[in-house]
């Protein structure tokens, strides 16, 4: 992804995420203090962003492994989120490593309370 395409994608994906819609959705989510691991797909830019938003609204911490073919989208999203709300942005860490790195993958699962594949 190029930076302009990344910005357009973020804008399009987050268009429904208005302050009012987030405020109405947040109380419906079960609150959690868990640390969740996400493995993001690379074939659809931004796939999984809504699940990440829901997990953050529910209070979870996140470990996000980017796709090896798409390492830019989620770091940019979390940086943008941290600019808007530093406390929420601080609850997410984005990692980039190859899918064949068994040690890194094992560590991701060991550190998290549960995982979601994208």
pLDDT band for position 118 (50/70/90)? very low
More confident residue, 118 or 83: 83
In the numeric block, the tokens 């990344």 are attached to 6
Query: What are 34-72's pLDDT values in tens digits?
Result: 899 999 988 877 789 889 988 998 899 999 999 988 888
Query: Could you tell me which residues come within 8 angstroms of residue 102 by beta carbon, excluding any fewer than 6 positions away?
Result: none
pTM of the model: 0.75
CA distance 50 to 27: 16
What pLDDT is stored for residue 114 in this prediction?
60
- Per DSSP, 16 falls in state T
Query: What are 72-117's pLDDT values in tens digits?
Result: 889 989 998 898 888 989 999 999 998 899 999 999 988 888 655 5
């Amino acid at each position: 992804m190029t930076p302009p395409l990344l910005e357009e994608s973020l804008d399009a994906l987050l268009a429904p995420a208005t302050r009012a819609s987030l405020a109405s959705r947040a109380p419906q989510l079960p609150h959690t203090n868990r640390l969740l691991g996400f493995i993001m797909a690379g074939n659809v830019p931004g796939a999984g962003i809504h699940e990440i938003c829901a997990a953050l609204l529910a209070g979870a911490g996140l470990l996000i492994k980017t796709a090896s073919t798409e390492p830019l989208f989620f770091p940019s999203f979390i940086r943008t989120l941290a600019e808007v709300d530093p406390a929420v942005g601080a609850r997410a860490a984005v990692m980039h490593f190859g899918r064949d790195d068994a040690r890194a993958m094992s560590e991701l699962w060991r550190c998290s309370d549960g995982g979601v594949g994208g």
